[in-house]
Amino acid sequence: MATNSPPSIDHSRPPLYRDVTVVKWVVQIAALALTLGALWFLADQAGDNLRASNVPTDYDFLSVNPGIDLSSGIDTDPDTGGRALWVGMVNTLRMAVAGIFVATILGVIVGLARLSNNWLLQKIGTVFVETLRNVPLLVQILFYGAVFASLDRVTKDVGPINGWLHLSNKGLSLPRVHIADGFYQWLIVMCIGIFIANEFRKRRIRQQDATGEESYPLLSAFAVLTFVAAVGWFIHPIFGFVGEIFGALSSFVSGIPQTVLQIAIGVLCVGSSALWIRSFLNSRRTPAGLARLTDDDYFRMIFAAVGGILGAIFFLILWPGLSSWMINSLSDLFNVLSNKFGDGRTGRPIDVDLPNIVQTGKFPNYGPSGLNFSIGFAAVFFGVVFYTAAFIAEIVRGGILAVPKGQSEAAAALGLKRATALRRVIIPQAARVMLPPLGNQYLNLTKNTSLAIAVGYSDIVQVGQTVYNQTGKTLPVVSIWMLFYLSCSLSISVIVNFFNVRMRIVER
Amino acid sequence: MSIDDATTAVSEKLAGREDMIVCVDVDKFYGDFQALKRVTATIKEGEVAVVCGPSGSGKSTWIRCINRLEVHQGGDIVVDGIELTNDLRNIERIRSEVGMVFQQFNLFPHLTVLDNITLAPIWVRKKPRAEAESMARALLERVGIPEQAEKFPGQLSGGQQQRVAIARSLAMEPRVMLFDEPTSALDPEMIKEVLDVMKELALSGMTMMVVTHEMGFAREVADRIMFMEGGEIVEVGTPEHFFTNPTEDRTKLFLSQIL
Amino acid sequence: MENRDAILTIPDENGSLPPKAPNLSIGQWFRKNLFSTWVNGILTVLGTAAALLMLRGVLNFVFSENRQWDAVRTNARALMTLTYPESQYVRVWVAFGSVVVLAGLSAGIWADWGRLPARRLAGWFMGAAGFLAVCILVREPSVLMDLEGKTIRLPDGSLVRESFASAMTDRANWWAVVALLLIVGGVIWRSDSDKKQLKITQVTYLGIGLGVLSLWVAPYGHYAFTDGTYIADPNSTVAFSTKMPWTVMWIMLAIGFFAGRWLRTSSYLVLAKAGSNLLWLISPVTLYFVILRDPALDYSHVFSTDLPMGLAFGILGACFLWFLTRSDIGEIGRILATAMLGIAIFNWVAAFFGWYPMLQKARISFLLLAVAALLAPNFVGEAAKRRQLLLGWLGTMALVHYLATMINTPSTVELQSTEFLGGLGLTLFVAVFVVLLSFPLGVLLALGRTSKFPIFRILSTSYIEVIRGVPLISVLIFFSVMVPLFLPDGMELAELGAVLTGYTLFSAAYLAENVRGGLQSVTKGQYEAADAIGLTSAQRTGFIVLPQALRVSIPQLVGQVIATFKETSLLAIIGLFDFLRVANSVIPAQSEFMGVKREGILLVAVIYFFFNFVISKYSQRLERRVGLGER
């Protein structure tokens, strides 16, 4: 070798304050300690102040009658605080889902209009986008609310299509499509139908691959599903026995001893962290044995172990209520499900009620049979839809413009028709660009529904505010808000990520 | 000439010089992949060592370990008598003694050429600005582009950018220069202007460690050529030995592919 | 998207067509852009109908006989500044004037907006005339009034309207405006035989001038908001009371602009740029806390406490820093700096536990001194560099102690509301301060999230993601309710302060994500090069990484500024009197304008739109010029 005599090297450890690893981890742990300390201090302070002002921070209000009326929702006179918040959550989700659906359609239309080669459509699209996205959402909501509030008073024959569609200063009333008593049995039929239709689609695709003839897999699968749905409309009562299965499950779950579940959770915590450490070590293992681990690696393992143990301690000792809560709610869920089946449920799965107008006291009002949208709902709905649609339009436009011109030229050179080129070449690529920002907009829309508080639509924030004004328990309510919105964000990002990953695989 | 003779020849030429870079049993892992396997070598003061080998052979990793852009996980690296350990002060000292030139130039695009060169002398070496600037202009003169001082890197050609990068490293008055494939990202007509600068540098007595595929440069300038494959130094020798009479089969295969 | 080159090429399906292609006749242009296929033709017809209907709806809404625009005119001052006393109103004008002069100065130093073909300007005039004519035609005929000024209704309840012909003659003055616009446009077009280019700055300035001039001619309604009572006084109009100040502002804008232009050619350019940046930075605090608030300085206290304290910190700190930048300081410097940081943090801990009293500005000064001491090793060496650090320190101390003194001194302005400012003033105040305060915090969070230190990364990431997962309104409610609970005994924070804190923390999370995008665009090679030439990590971040990252993220940062400004409207929900609240709650509660909401909200919408539209257009220009934003 080149160096016959490696020079003797004086190995001296550097002093601690100059050692890179030591400095790096001391700084980090100090920052962690400082952050946790500050949080602990603030929490402690808040606790002291709350005790001093006699406002306990427990969650009792969830099971106490709050004595509030909600302006709209599945239950306008909830009998517990928890139920009230639940109604608020449903309202928020209802608004968010409807808003996302309509805003996407509107946004895509406007975005395509901005790209069309029709000058007038382009300009209309531009005016739409520039106006709506530059005016704050809250201003828009208040404005729509003020406009709707100035509509005509509700009368016996308010119109515009009496008995079908009512529009007045009480809001909008439409025919209501709702699930009736056979729905859950029918749902099982539909699940089977979806399975059959999917198999049918796969077969059709195989057939097309083999013969080369167009076999319309999606269309025919849809036809199969429709057929099954129609048949299920009449034969669904045969699934009445499912209720007994759920009943059995319910009693089984409620029979699980609390300690068993508690220990299971603890074991799950420790076990998952142990598994993680093992797989981590394996990933670092060379054929020759263990690789040298860096300081980061050691700390990762330490944190994983500490996290697992802390989690186990937390669930085992500090929060035993969790397991009983899980058992109870799971058993309740199965119980509720079991009641949805059998017992002579032979009616239609889905029903339609027409709106009506009733006069209980001095003034006429919308009756409960129609699908009633209050002024607040309409204001928030139009607000979030228009506002988000303006942003979605920009995303759609940007996404399509992001596909290089060469792609459509290449498709044309291959002789693809324009529609085929759009479907097979342009849109898959544009979708990949559009998806992450679209997910962001859906998230924003969901969060923006919280502005309903300004027009009195009973979303979770508005209900929560009413609840804490009555009970003084601000902190618990705020914590419920945060949990709710965080889980919404998480679900939306999971869904978007799922499609994102699929897109990427499709693209390869 | 056997490998020992070749080593002897190199040793004679550089006899009495001080060790500049000493690597003993250097190991480096990426996860479970071992990029460097007990790499041992000594580079003397004023020596020009060329490291070559197929891509993925660990040569860039090795050179990047020497000024701790990568952290080696086993063995020792000593540069000019300073051991490269976790000691912050040693790292600082080694980095200001070792200049490095990258494949992708890595000039700072938001600073002018002059600012690129004077940044480190002013803020690391604590030189007065006037002195740093006059030195920078002298260096630009030396690499042959004195008129480009006020321009931004984006306005220069690749060869000019690489020469600015060399000037930027030289401005720190390093004792060692490391070159990590300095001509790989260049168009063929620009390679020569960079190699000329490097030759001039070698002749001026700078200790240099060069990872490159430019065999002409190696034959002409190198005191020693090291061939790496699979994270190991396979063969070491003078250019003469290396090109005319390689001993290892792997070296022969590599040379037959590249020449 | 104005792609001029596309005129020459066949526009693809994606490219937008320029409206006026010079090589096409009008007929060709119509066929090509509106009726190229029969589908297109149908769309055009439908689109025209829809657009005209929308326009008619908007016009009917705005000019309806039911609209009470008096509500807005009368409350103009309430919308702008709420209860700021009339006797002190000159302060508002001075503050506004300072901003105007500063804007003119900066425009003079930097702006190079290029030129505008005179024919395009003429085209705008004629286009405006055409649009106005369409508006006049589309607007429904007015409702007829009887002698008492009441509307007449037919038996079926519908209103009686005048005939179309008489409506058109009633709008004669509007037709006159149309004619005037057409004439002006025509004159410009005809006189422009040599294809003149007008400077955009001049055109803009003249445009503003025309707006100001119109105040002298047209009395835009009346106002009175004096001493807390709302009086609709027809003799006192908004225009008459504000035309003079506006004219002065207009002239000052020009003076500022020419001063800037002069500085641009003078040798003080670098100094002027730095100076104007500094002025922009300190103007929000100065204008708000010093000029608008008019602090009642207690001079005995100033000379006995404030001034000596500032001097002590300045001088002793300077000596300390001078010592730390000695070239032979070595490790001792770092140890002393860390010790100083320890003292500074201990001061805050002591504050929370109430161990010993200390003025807040002393704590801040200690913290700043620690930061300066940590930075000191970078300035070791020649005397000039050491002086730089010292001057920077003295300047910071002067500023901090000046502002702290001013902010701590009670105001002499007598107010009727709890909050010092209201209306648009409050909105702008919150927007400006949130942007200023959240910027450093956001950059720190972004650095933390991209750091190679895992704990920093985890802390920043979880903070950012949690904040981004919840709506602003819940954060604001949380802070306005909870902050008083978090504070230890004896410490207080005004509601506005709590809201500002919450909003800043919220905004910082979003800003961090924008900066992170920029940070990710800085290549690994830049970090390695900075390491290889021996820069410390602070130097690497400050000199190499952040300048590049921030430049890349300018468009997103501007977007964030717009979003922040828009979301200031949420102040109205949590009980602060911003101008949306005034429009939505205060005006409809006045006995004269009971329930009149829509007019005020529409005005608020227009003001928000104006600000946001201008900012976003400017940022697009900037983006196009820098060549950013191309993916």
pLDDT at C562: 92
Which of A415-424, A477-486, C406-415 is the least confident region? C406-415
pLDDT at A321: 75
Same domain, A388 and A491: yes
Pairing of strands B48-52, A160-161: unpaired
C532 closest CB neighbour out of B69, B107, B129 = B69
* Count of CB pairs separated by less than 8 Å, A with C: 173
Chain A residues with at least one Cβ partner in B under 8 Å: 1-4, 6-7, 9-14, 18-23, 283-288, 291-292, 294
Nearest chain A residue to C45 by CA distance is A120
Asked whether residue B136 carries a pLDDT value surpassing 90, the answer given is yes
Q: Which residues pair with B227 in a beta bridge?
A: B52, B235
Same domain, A300 and A225: yes
> In this complex, do A478 and C474 lie within 8 Å of one another by their Cβ atoms?
yes
Which of A63-77, C302-316, C340-354 is the least confident region? A63-77
Pick the closest to residue C262 from C131, C108, C154 (CA basis). C108
Tokens 């450490």 identify what position?
A: A277
> In this complex, do A41 and C40 lie within 8 Å of one another by their Cβ atoms?
no
Nearest chain C residue to B111 by CA distance is C544
pLDDT at C228: 46
Q: What is the mean pLDDT of residues C47-69?
A: 84
- Mean pLDDT across chain A: 81
**Amino acid at site A27:** V
Report yes or no on A410 lying in a domain.
Answer: yes
> In this complex, do A6 and B42 lie within 8 Å of one another by their Cβ atoms?
yes
- The answer to whether the CB of C582 falls within 8 A of the CB of C75 is yes
Selection from A152-161, B157-166, C354-363, C592-601 with the highest mean pLDDT: B157-166
Query: How far apart are the CA of B52 and the nearest CA of chain A, in angstroms?
Result: 16
Full domain range(s) for residue A448: 81-139+379-503
Q: What is the mean pLDDT of residues C65-94?
A: 79
> In this complex, do B110 and C551 lie within 8 Å of one another by their Cβ atoms?
yes
Q: What is the mean pLDDT of residues A128-145?
A: 92
> In this complex, do C613 and A134 lie within 8 Å of one another by their Cβ atoms?
yes
Nearest chain B residue to C535 by CA distance is B124
Subunits that touch chain B (at least 3 Cβ pairs < 8 angstroms)? Answer: A, C
Report yes or no on A239 lying in a domain.
Answer: yes
Q: Which residue has the higher pLDDT, A227 or C152?
A: A227
Report yes or no on A341 lying in a domain.
Answer: yes
Asked whether residue C78 carries a pLDDT value surpassing 70, the answer given is yes
Q: Which residue has the higher pLDDT, C219 or A383?
A: A383
Which of A436-440, B133-137, B246-250, C622-626 is the least confident region? C622-626
Selection from A217-221, A248-252, A475-479, C181-185 with the highest mean pLDDT: C181-185
> What angle, 0 to 180 degrees and rounded to 10, lies between the N-to-C axes of helices C307-324 and C360-375?
20
Question: What confidence category does residue A385 fall into, taking pLDDT thresholds of 50, 70 and 90?
Answer: very high
CATH code of residue A428? 1.10.3720.10
Taking the CA of residue A316 as centre, how many other CA atoms within 13 Å lie in the half-sphere pointing to its CB?
13
Q: Which residue has the higher pLDDT, B38 or B31?
A: B38
Q: Which residue has the higher pLDDT, C4 or C65?
A: C65
C533 closest CB neighbour out of B109, B127, B168 = B168
Query: How far apart are the CA of A343 and the nearest CA of chain C, in angstroms?
Result: 44
Query: How far apart are the CA of C85 and the nearest CA of chain A, in angstroms?
Result: 27
Pick the closest to residue A461 from A496, A491, A485, A427 (CA basis). A485
- The answer to whether the CB of C417 falls within 8 A of the CB of C576 is no
pLDDT at C508: 94
Same domain, A290 and A387: no
Asked whether residue C132 carries a pLDDT value surpassing 70, the answer given is yes
pLDDT at C233: 55
Asked whether residue A2 carries a pLDDT value surpassing 50, the answer given is no
Domain termination residue (choose one: A291, A319, A353): A353
Asked whether residue C383 carries a pLDDT value surpassing 90, the answer given is no
> In this complex, do C528 and B126 lie within 8 Å of one another by their Cβ atoms?
no
Asked whether residue C527 carries a pLDDT value surpassing 80, the answer given is yes
> Looking at C273-336, which runs of residues are DSSP E strands?
none
Pairing of strands A357-359, B232-237: unpaired
Q: How many domains are there within chain A?
A: 2
Report yes or no on A23 lying in a domain.
Answer: no
**Sequence-ordered list of residues with C-beta below 8 angstroms from that of A185, at least 6 positions apart, any chain:** A236, A237, A239, A240, A242, A340, A341, A345, A349
pLDDT at C497: 83
Same domain, A190 and A239: yes
A49 touches chain C (CB under 8 A): yes
pLDDT at C24: 64
Question: What confidence category does residue B1 fall into, taking pLDDT thresholds of 50, 70 and 90?
Answer: very low
Question: What confidence category does residue C631 fall into, taking pLDDT thresholds of 50, 70 and 90?
Answer: very low
B42 closest CB neighbour out of A2, A20, A21 = A2
- Quote the pTM value: 0.84
Same domain, A233 and A297: yes
pLDDT at A508: 39
Tokens 């001097």 identify what position?
A: C311
Residue C235: count other Cβ atoms within 10 Å of its Cβ: 8
> In this complex, do A20 and B88 lie within 8 Å of one another by their Cβ atoms?
yes
pLDDT at B135: 92
pLDDT at C227: 43
pLDDT at C10: 34
**Amino acid at site C594:** M
Tokens 């500085």 identify what position?
A: C263
Same domain, A387 and A283: no
Locate C368 and state its tokens: 């700043």
Asked whether residue A437 carries a pLDDT value surpassing 90, the answer given is no
**Sequence-ordered list of residues with C-beta below 8 angstroms from that of A328, at least 6 positions apart, any chain:** A254
Domain range list for chain C: 65-83+415-631, 85-296, 298-409
The CATH architecture one would assign to domain C65-83+415-631 is Orthogonal Bundle (1.10)
Report yes or no on A94 lying in a domain.
Answer: yes
Pick the closest to residue A3 from C411, B14, C44, C553 (CA basis). B14
Residues of A in contact with C487 (CB under 8 A): 45
Q: What is the mean pLDDT of residues C273-286?
A: 86
A20 closest CB neighbour out of B34, B73, B86 = B86
Q: How far apart are CA B21 and CA C25, in angstroms?
A: 77
Question: What confidence category does residue C239 fall into, taking pLDDT thresholds of 50, 70 and 90?
Answer: low
Asked whether residue B108 carries a pLDDT value surpassing 70, the answer given is yes
Asked whether residue C19 carries a pLDDT value surpassing 50, the answer given is no
Q: What is the mean pLDDT of residues A16-20?
A: 76
Q: How far apart are CA A354 and CA A351, in angstroms?
A: 10
Question: What confidence category does residue A112 fall into, taking pLDDT thresholds of 50, 70 and 90?
Answer: confident
pLDDT at A389: 94
Selection from A179-183, B206-210, C292-296, C347-351 with the highest mean pLDDT: B206-210
Residues of C in contact with B172 (CB under 8 A): 533-534
- Mean pLDDT across chain C: 80
Asked whether residue A77 carries a pLDDT value surpassing 80, the answer given is no
Asked whether residue C629 carries a pLDDT value surpassing 60, the answer given is no
pLDDT at C417: 62
Q: What is the mean pLDDT of residues A26-52?
A: 83
Asked whether residue C145 carries a pLDDT value surpassing 90, the answer given is no
Pairing of strands A171-174, A165-168: antiparallel
Pick the closest to residue C245 from C95, C373, C449, C26 (CA basis). C95
Asked whether residue B54 carries a pLDDT value surpassing 60, the answer given is yes
ipTM for the predicted complex comes to 0.89
Asked whether residue C614 carries a pLDDT value surpassing 80, the answer given is yes
pLDDT at C515: 92
Selection from A182-196, A399-413, C434-448, C450-464 with the highest mean pLDDT: C434-448
Pick the closest to residue C574 from A262, B104, A346, A474 (CA basis). A474
Which of A195-199, B74-78, C218-222, C588-592 is the least confident region? C218-222
pLDDT at A228: 80
CA distances in angstroms from B257 to A50, B183, B186, B249, listed in the order given:
79, 19, 21, 12
Residue A149: count other Cβ atoms within 10 Å of its Cβ: 17
Asked whether residue A169 carries a pLDDT value surpassing 90, the answer given is no
**Amino acid at site C538:** A
pLDDT at A142: 92
